[in-house]
Amino acid sequence: MGFNLEQALEEAGALTEGHFLLSSGKHSDRYVEKFHLLRKPTILQQVCAAMVEKLGDTRIDVVAGPTTGGILIAAEIARQLGVRAAYAERADEGSLQRAFRRVEYFEPGDRVMVVDDILTTGGSVKETIAALDPHPVELASVMVMVDRSMGRAELGAPYSSLTQMDVPAWEPDDCPLCADGVPLVKPGTTQQKNGT
């Protein structure tokens, strides 16, 4: 053990503080920019090794994850386990559903591990689990890197995480940073926060 995910995220520059507009419309004072981790394969490899260790001796045949971060994690964990990976993409352009497209990823009886990077409401993990439905496989494990729901996400299946992270979020009207006049930043843009 001894692996510290928060330290790895910090090392990757993925943990940022400021005044952020989340995709939910709420505001927060912290943001995890997972792409700072995803773009550093050596650190990502260590995170995936910690997930493999947490998995223990559960037998897995295929590691499946949703686009975009989930497929990178699925591929790396599958590589470490010496098994296959599967990628859950949007079923169609703009679709809210996911599907395992392009090739037949699964064999009858495959034991599948579903993985993802950051779980907030659990939408993409749920979609990935649902995308397994048409396939003759067994869901053997669900694991995420960071659980921001603090274990409260309803995925319809038990799941585990490397770490839980309680990130405060406010409605704009209740946001203390707005009240203080701190400039709001939309993460994922190249816009930089100014040092307040």
Binding status of residue 27 toward Zn ion by CB under 5 A: yes
The least CB distance from residue 165 to Zn ion, in Å, is 19
Binding status of residue 74 toward Zn ion by CB under 5 A: no
Among residues 146, 109, 101, the alpha carbon closest in space to that of 125 is found at 146
Binding status of residue 22 toward Zn ion by CB under 5 A: no
Binding status of residue 148 toward Zn ion by CB under 5 A: no
Number of residues that bind Zn ion (CB under 5 A): 4
Of 51, 155, 177, 185, the residue at the interface with Zn ion (CB under 5 A) is 177
The least CB distance from residue 175 to Zn ion, in Å, is 3
The least CB distance from residue 189 to Zn ion, in Å, is 16
- Stretch of residues binding Zn ion (CB under 5 A), selected from 71-79, 129-137, 145-153, 177-185: 177-185
Nearest-angstrom CA–CA distance, 97 and 92: 8
As a whole number of angstroms, the longest Cα–Cα distance in the chain is 58
Binding status of residue 175 toward Zn ion by CB under 5 A: yes
Binding status of residue 83 toward Zn ion by CB under 5 A: no
Contact 30, 20 (CB under 8 A): yes
- Residues facing residue 142 across a β-bridge: 114
Of 163, 178, 187, 193, the residue at the interface with Zn ion (CB under 5 A) is 178
Q: What residues from 88 to 117 belong to the interface with Zn ion (CB under 5 A)?
A: none
Catalog residues that contact Zn ion under the rule CB under 5 A. Answer: 27, 175, 177-178
